[in-house]
Amino acid sequence: MMSFGDPATVPWYLSQEAAEPIVRRAVEGGVTLFDTADMYSDGACEELTGRLLGKFFARRSDYVLATKVFYPTGPGPNDRGLSRAHIMDAVDASLRRLGTDYIDLYQVHRWDPQTPVEETMTALNDLVRSGKVRYVGASLMWTWRFAVAQFTARDAGQTEFVSMQTRYNLSDREDEREMLPFCAAQGVGVLPYSPLARGLLAGTRGPDGSGGTVRARTDDTTAGRPPGNDAEILAALRAVAAEHGVPPARIAMAWLLGRPGVTAPIIGTTRVEHLDDALAAVRLRLGAAETQRLEAPYRPRPPYGLD
């Protein structure tokens, strides 16, 4: 749902009117997990998400609603991070914007080095006990930090994380070293975000970051991404896609869906056709030889976006 919000704040956000047919198609296609965050479009994304899901689902229990906490949501010193104060304020604000009594999956958006992990995990446990949150999850962080948080909660008899939302795709596979095996060993679900590497694997952005879409021209999120051998990865992807007669995006998502431990990729869309590719990827099965061709060009790259 991150692509939806107030276009006045970010040029590639879609308004509710533009987002509605995409969400309708998702519901018709059987999608039941909808992921947002309090900081997307300064809260407008949560408001839009709540209105649209209320329109397309008859019962609140028919879908899984996920949101996040960590990034700044106001100008004050306590309007950010994973302190108890911010978590308690943030969850109430998210509930109001989403128009719901509870959040199915409440995720810490990043690691907070300024707050003791015991404080964060106790606050999250209290939210689950209160009924405001059903489950808690985490997003992009070093595996050792995720393990510290997980075992801190376990040692205290508190609620543990049930999911990890991490960056994982054909062009960025560094989490295969530690995070994915750790999640598999601990029974934690993996929700990969950026399954198409922000358009790279869909062919809408070049290996150098250039592209013709509005987001490619205005979003500098990947500016710190270390250079790799994306051109070789793209060549293999396009070759396999041509043999199947489908867009490269569909092959990239089919590969991700077939990876061990992957629960549900987080798909961002700005057009109904994007969603149709994602839905079609669920039914596409890649052979062992094709998988090997897709994976062979990858070369390790330093992780980025972690501190």
Structure tokens at 197: 């590497």
pLDDT score, position 212: 58
The total of other beta-carbon atoms located within 10 Å of residue 18's CB is 14
Find, among 285, 281, 284, the residue nearest to 253 by Cα: 281
The position carrying tokens 């397309």 is: 56
What's the CA gap between 108 and 124, in Å, rounded? 9
Is 90:59 a contact under the CB 8 Å cutoff?
no
- Domains defined along the chain, listed by start: 1-165 (3.20.20.100), 196-261+271-307 (no CATH)
Per-residue pLDDT tens, the chain, 307 aa: give them: 999 999 998 888 999 999 999 999 999 999 999 999 999 999 999 999 999 999 999 999 999 999 999 999 888 888 999 999 999 999 999 999 999 999 999 999 999 999 999 999 999 999 999 999 999 999 999 999 999 999 999 999 999 999 999 999 999 999 999 999 999 999 999 999 999 998 999 987 666 555 556 655 555 665 566 667 899 999 999 999 999 999 999 999 999 999 999 999 999 999 999 999 999 999 999 999 999 999 999 999 888 888 7
Active site residues: 40
A 10 A CB-CB count for 157 gives 7
The whole-model pTM stands at 0.93
The 3-state secondary structure of 10-41, one letter per residue: CCCCECHHHHHHHHHHHHHCCCCEEECCCCHH
272 close to 22: Cβ distance less than 8 angstroms = yes
Amino acid letter for position 150: Q
Note the pLDDT of residue 214. Answer: 61
pLDDT of residue 254: 97
